C-alpha cells in the first residue's frame, strides 16, 4: 500500500491579490490544492478613524464616515447622524427622512451590484461584471445629481440632509429602480445566476449553518444567507422604515445546502429587488414640500451620556457606540462593522476546501477592507 506524505506549503494570498477585495492578506497553509487553513492578516488600512472622532466637532466628522465603507458611504452617514441625533434629542424633518431612505436604498443597490459583480469576476466571469458596472454607473450618476459626489457622498447631515432632490432626480430614480427590477435582474439571472458553471462553483461551498452564523456573530446578508430572517429595517425599524412594505430574503439551499456561497449570492440579488420596492414607496409617499434640515445650535454640543445605535448597511449591522462628556467632540466613539464579523469565520470555512474555493468564500461574504480596519 502506497502512503503519501503530507507536503505542507505556506503561501501568501494578498495583500495585492485582486480577489481579496481590498488590501487583505491570507496566510494559506496547503497540501497541494487542498487548504489546511487560511488565516486572515488584517490592519493594512488602519487609519485610527475612531481616535480622529475624539478630536473633531460632531458635524466635522461626517465626511470620515464616508470612508468606513466607501461602497455604502451614505448608509454610514445615516448611522452616525442617527446616533448623534438620538443622544442630542434632535429630530430630522419628515422630507429629509424620505430623502435619507431613498439615498440609502439606492446606495444598497449600488453596493450589491459591486458585490455580486466582483464575486463573478473573481470566479472568472468577466461579462456579468461589466453588466453590473453599467447599472452601477447609472447609480453613480444619480448620486452625483443628488449631492455632487459619485463615491463618498457626504449627503446626510446631523438634523437632515445637505440638499433637496434636484429637478428630474425623482423621475430618473424611479426609472432606474423599475429598469432594475423588471428588466435588468431577469436578464442578469438568465445570463449568469442560473448558469450551471456558477452553480457548481458556489453551491455546497463555504456552508455556514444557522448555529455557526450566530456563533460567529455574522450580520446582514451573510446571516440571512444561513436562513435567519433578521433585518434591522424590519425588526428594529429606524428612521421611517416602519412605513414601508418589503420582504426579508433568506437562504433556503436554492441549489445546494442552506447557508452555502450560492445562498449568500442569491440573497443579495433578491435584496436589490426589495430595495427597489422601498425606493418606489418612498418616492410615492414623500411630501412635495418641506424642510430638509433641522437647525442646530452653534457651537453644537451634546449633553453628557452614552448611546449605541445600529443600522442595516449593505454588509449588515453598522453600530456606533457614542460617549459624550458634554463638549463639542465625542469623549469616545466605537464603530462595529459587518465585514469585521465576516472575517472571523473565514479561517474555519477554509479547512479542507480547494484553494480556488477560498476565492468563492471571500467573494460570497462581501468583505470591504476599510470596514475591517477603520
Collapsing DSSP states into helix, strand and coil, what is residue 187? helix
Number of H helices, E strands in the chain: 15, 8
Residue 173 and residue 102 in contact, taking contact as beta carbons nearer than 8 Å: yes
Dist. CA 74–CA 82, nearest whole Å: 12
Residue 43 CB partners (closer than 8 Å, separation 6+)? 373
Dist. CA 253–CA 186, nearest whole Å: 20
Dist. CA 272–CA 182, nearest whole Å: 11
Taking residues 54-65, report their average pLDDT: 93
The grid coordinates listed for 191 are: 445570463
DSSP letter at 104? Answer: H
Residue 61 CB partners (closer than 8 Å, separation 6+)? 52, 53, 80, 330, 333
pLDDT in tens, 68-104: 888 899 999 999 999 999 999 999 999 999 999 999 9
Most confident of 29-33, 175-179, 251-255: 175-179
Dist. CA 262–CA 207, nearest whole Å: 9
- Listed in sequence order, the DSSP H helices in 166-286 are 169-179, 185-188, 196-202, 210-215, 220-224, 232-235, 261-285
With cut-offs at 50, 70 and 90, classify the pLDDT of residue 239: very high
Dist. CA 154–CA 31, nearest whole Å: 47
> Pick the residue with more confidence: 109 or 42?
109
With cut-offs at 50, 70 and 90, classify the pLDDT of residue 32: confident
Residue 350 and residue 38 in contact, taking contact as beta carbons nearer than 8 Å: yes
Closest listed residue to residue 363, CA positions, set 262, 233, 272:
262
Collapsing DSSP states into helix, strand and coil, what is residue 27? strand
- How confident is the model at residue 164, as a pLDDT? 92
Within the chain, what is the greatest distance between any pair of CA atoms?
82
The pTM of the full predicted model, rounded to 2 decimals, is 0.93
Domains identified in the chain and CATH numbers: 50-373 (1.10.645.10)
Q: Does 201 score more than 70 pLDDT?
A: yes
Closest listed residue to residue 56, CA positions, set 330, 301, 335, 304:
330
The grid coordinates listed for 27 are: 496566510
CA angle 227, 202, 354 (to 5 degrees): 120
Dist. CA 150–CA 106, nearest whole Å: 12
Residue 46 CB partners (closer than 8 Å, separation 6+)? 373, 374
Amino acid at each position: 500500500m502506497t502512503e503519501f506524505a503530507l507536503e505542507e506549503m505556506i503561501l501568501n494570498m494578498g495583500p495585492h491579490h485582486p480577489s481579496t477585495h481590498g488590501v487583505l492578506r491570507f496566510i494559506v497553509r496547503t497540501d497541494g490544492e487542498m487548504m489546511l487553513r487560511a488565516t486572515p492578516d488584517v490592519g493594512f488600512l488602519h487609519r485610527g478613524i475612531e481616535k480622529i472622532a475624539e478630536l473633531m466637532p460632531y458635524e466635522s466628522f461626517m465626511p470620515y464616515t464616508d470612508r468606513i465603507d466607501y461602497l455604502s458611504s451614505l448608509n454610514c452617514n445615516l448611522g452616525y447622524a442617527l446616533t448623534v441625533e438620538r443622544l442630542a434629542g434632535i429630530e430630522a424633518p419628515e422630507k429629509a427622512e424620505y430623502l435619507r431612505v431613498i439615498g440609502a436604498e439606492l446606495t444598497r443597490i449600488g453596493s450589491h451590484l459591486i458585490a455580486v459583480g466582483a464575486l463573478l469576476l473573481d470566479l472568472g466571469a468577466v461579462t456579468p461584471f461589466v453588466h453590473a458596472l453599467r447599472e452601477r454607473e447609472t447609480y453613480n450618476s444619480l448620486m452625483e445629481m443628488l449631492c455632487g459626489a459619485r463615491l463618498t457622498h457626504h449627503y446626510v447631515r446631523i438634523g437632515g440632509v445637505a440638499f433637496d432632490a434636484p429637478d428630474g432626480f425623482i423621475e430618473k430614480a424611479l426609472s432606474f429602480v423599475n429598469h432594475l427590477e423588471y428588466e435588468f435582474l431577469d436578464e442578469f439571472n438568465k445570463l449568469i445566476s442560473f448558469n450551471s458553471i456558477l452553480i457548481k462553483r458556489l453551491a455546497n461551498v463555504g456552508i455556514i449553518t444557522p448555529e455557526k452564523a450566530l456563533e460567529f456573530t455574522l450580520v446582514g446578508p451573510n446571516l440571512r444567507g444561513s436562513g435567519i430572517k433578521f433585518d434591522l429595517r424590519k425588526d428594529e425599524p429606524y428612521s421611517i422604515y416602519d412605513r414601508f412594505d418589503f420582504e426579508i430574503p433568506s437562504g433556503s439551499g436554492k441549489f445546494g445546502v442552506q447557508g452555502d456561497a450560492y445562498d449568500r449570492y442569491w440573497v443579495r440579488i433578491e435584496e436589490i429587488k426589495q430595495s427597489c420596492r422601498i425606493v418606489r414607496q418612498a418616492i410615492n409617499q414623500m411630501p412635495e414640500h418641506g424642510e430638509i434640515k433641522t437647525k442646530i445650535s452653534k457651537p453644537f454640543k451634546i449633553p453628557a451620556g452614552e448611546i449605541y445605535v445600529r443600522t442595516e448597511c449593505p454588509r449588515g449591522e453598522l453600530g456606533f457606540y457614542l460617549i459624550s462628556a458634554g463638549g463639542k467632540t465625542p469623549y469616545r466613539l466605537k464603530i462595529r462593522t459587518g465585514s469585521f464579523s465576516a472575517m472571523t469565520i473565514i479561517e474555519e470555512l477554509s479547512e479542507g476546501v480547494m484553494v480556488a474555493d477560498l476565492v468563492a468564500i471571500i467573494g460570497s461574504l462581501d468583505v470591504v477592507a476599510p470596514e475591517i480596519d477603520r
